Amino acid sequence: MNQLDKNIATNLKRIRKQKNMSLDALAEKTGVSKSMLGQIERGESNPTVATIAKIVDGIRISFEELFYPRQESVLIIDNDKLPLLRSEEGVYQVRSIFPYDRRRNFEVYEMKIEPGEGCGCLWKGDGGSEYILVVQGVLTLHTAEGTYEVSANHAIKLDAAKDHSYHNSGSGQLILDLFTAL
């Protein structure tokens, strides 16, 4: 059984139970036989697109709810255990906290810039926005429109498609949380 079939089997059984439905009731709602639904839930069948369409239409769920692993309702991330990407010169580092995922339209990163250093924009979007929260230090943000000084506990929103750069002109490390809305 491949991963997609496992996901469909697990998700169909979970969704059916959440809806307090028997296999008989599910068969009645979807027009798919009870035996076929049982085989799908046990991972013994590779359902056709037409069968999947009957199921999602019958119980009014999206295809994604059957195809993809269930997302936990609470996810705690230990930033210290996430991979850290460093520039070759060591002047800044970036940690992807919530990387791109097709089920959401944003990404979250943490960036640290050493005193007196800077870097150009890392993510150049197609019309998206970048939201920057200054956690520690003072960010000097350079854009085509001007230069902005943003201190800790302040935030700024900008057009991610336009060139910009981040600089730390302070004496301590600059820490930023970056939210990129796609």
The domain locations on the chain are 3-67, 79-181
Buried/exposed 93-128: b ≥16 CB within 10 Å, e otherwise: ebeeeeeeeeeeeebbbbbbbbeebbbebbeebeeb
Q: State how far the Cα of 97 lies from the Cα of 112, in Å rounded to an integer.
A: 13
Fold of the domain spanning 3-67: 434 Repressor (Amino-terminal Domain) (1.10.260)
- What pLDDT score does 177 carry? 96
Phi then psi for residue 47, to 5 deg, are -65, 145
Q: State the 10-residue block means of pLDDT for the chain, 182 residues long.
A: 84 92 94 95 90 92 82 79 86 88 82 94 75 96 95 94 92 94 78
Full-prediction pTM beyond 0.85? no
Fold of 79-181: Jelly Rolls (2.60.120)
User: Two tokens at 45?
Assistant: 């069948």
Question: How far apart are alpha carbons 30 and 34 in whole angstroms?
Answer: 10
Please give the Cα distance from 48 to 104 (Å, whole number): 27
What's the pLDDT score for residue 33?
A: 95
